[in-house]
Amino acid sequence: MPVPKKRRSKSKKRMKTARWKIVVPNLRPCPECNALGRPHFVCSVCGFYKGRPVILTSSASNNAPSNDLAASE
């Protein structure tokens, strides 16, 4: 296991942590349910991706019964 050769000084440690920032994630409204979610990810509320149901959620089974999944199963 690699071990640092020298102890990092207080100044260097503080200079490093001064660059740490909170990153606000990009959010976009879901085209199906308008809930905010990350782009290029399956919607966690309705389970839709690219207009198709990908994962079965309780709201998806209630609101939009999936013909694609029913045909494949």
Could you tell me which of 71, 73, 70 has the C-alpha nearest to residue 61? 70
Measured from the CB atom, the residue of 33 and 54 that comes closer to Zn ion is 33
User: With binding defined as CB under 5 A, does residue 32 bind Zn ion?
Assistant: yes
Q: How far apart are CA 27 and CA 73, in angstroms?
A: 33
Per CB under 5 A, which region of 14-22, 32-40, 49-57, 58-66 contacts Zn ion?
Answer: 32-40
Among residues 42, 46, 53, 57, the one that binds Zn ion under rule CB under 5 A:
46
User: With binding defined as CB under 5 A, does residue 43 bind Zn ion?
Assistant: yes
Q: Which H or E run includes 71? A: helix 67-72
